[in-house]
Amino acid sequence: MYENKIAEAEKLKGEIDRYRPLSPDMVRQLKEYYRIGLVYSSNALEGNSLTETETKVVLEDGITIGGKPLRDHYEAMGSSEAYNLLFELAKDKRIKEKDILSLHHLFYYRIDRENAGRYRKERVIITGSSYILPSPDEVPDLMKGFIKSLPALKRKYHPIEYSALVHKEFVSIHPFIDGNGRIARFLMNICLLAEGYPITIIPPIMRVDYINSLEIAHIKRDSNPFINFISHVVYESLKEYIRIIKG
């Protein structure tokens, strides 16, 4: 079980704020640094076979990796395009339904143009989970309810708690045929960026803890383990950010 790290994360964010504003060149470099890290880790959590170095080669050099599935390359390129949108959406400080559809379209159109940016029309299951997902007929209304609930959630909870709950509630609906985990992590990061936190990365090595804490949130309706887990990865990401800007 993970301890709640929100208080410690707040202190680190305060330290980062003292370095702000960063130079435009530093901001650009940080954005590109986190592009590779987030794209690689988020895809690896879902089974993508590209290593971090291979992801960098695909995105920066446009070179395909021999022996690796074409879909894995498409996931990297799509995630990179969706990443570009994160920073624009974070400026608005609101998540709108059309923004979620746009993120999914950018991520998924190379893989399945027909379903990119569109809610699923069939039932899906989460492998290894006993949580039963809503039927496709329920998805549109559930998504509208999800969007409508966000302002109240944002007022009630700390930004780190809010980002975790947005992630949890989104994947509980699972509105798309594929790519739900990746979109959930994008939404989590939009919430954090909007409040001055850096990009938060969930390392693939923590996949089991990540999935287990989500399972508890869905089955036992206890969000605290997942909030604590997210607070831990936010804290570690803040430490990494400070290391970079100090260096």
pLDDT at residue 128 in the model: 82
pLDDT at residue 93 in the model: 84
pLDDT at residue 136 in the model: 98
CA angle at 226 for the pair 216 and 47, rounded to the nearest 5°: 85
Q: What is the radius of gyration, based on Cα positions, of the chain?
A: 17
Q: What is the mean pLDDT of residues 210-221?
A: 96
Joined together, the tokens standing for residue 15 give: 């330290």
Note the pLDDT tens digit of each residue in 69-78.
Answer: 999 999 999 9
Note the pLDDT tens digit of each residue in 98-148.
Answer: 999 999 999 999 999 999 999 999 999 988 888 999 999 999 999 999 999
174 is catalytic: yes
Q: What is the mean pLDDT of residues 168-180?
A: 98
Q: What is the DSSP letter of 49?
A: -
Q: Is there a contact between 80 and 86 (Cβ–Cβ < 8 Å)?
A: no
pLDDT at residue 219 in the model: 94
Chain mean pLDDT for the chain:
97
- pLDDT tier, 167 (very low <50, low <70, confident <90, very high otherwise): very high
Q: Tell which CATH classification among 1.20.1250.20, 3.40.1180.10, 1.10.3290.10, 2.30.40.10 matches the domain 6-246.
A: 1.10.3290.10
> If phi over 0 gives left and psi between -120 and 50 gives alpha, with beta otherwise, what is residue 112?
beta
Joined together, the tokens standing for residue 31 give: 């954005």
Q: Which candidate in 73, 105, 167, 174 is catalytic?
A: 174
Within its chain, how far is the Cα of 170 from the centroid? 11
pLDDT at residue 182 in the model: 98
Within its chain, how far is the Cα of 25 from the centroid? 25
Q: What is the mean pLDDT of residues 184-195?
A: 98
Q: What is the mean pLDDT of residues 220-238?
A: 97
Joined together, the tokens standing for residue 208 give: 């089991």
- Residue 230, pLDDT > 90, answer yes
- pLDDT tier, 1 (very low <50, low <70, confident <90, very high otherwise): confident
pLDDT at residue 179 in the model: 97
- Residue 247, pLDDT > 90, answer no
Strands (E), the chain: none
- pLDDT tier, 46 (very low <50, low <70, confident <90, very high otherwise): very high
Within its chain, how far is the Cα of 76 from the centroid? 14
Q: Going by C-beta distance under 8 Å and a sequence separation of 6 or more, which residues neighbour residue 80? A: 35, 39, 59
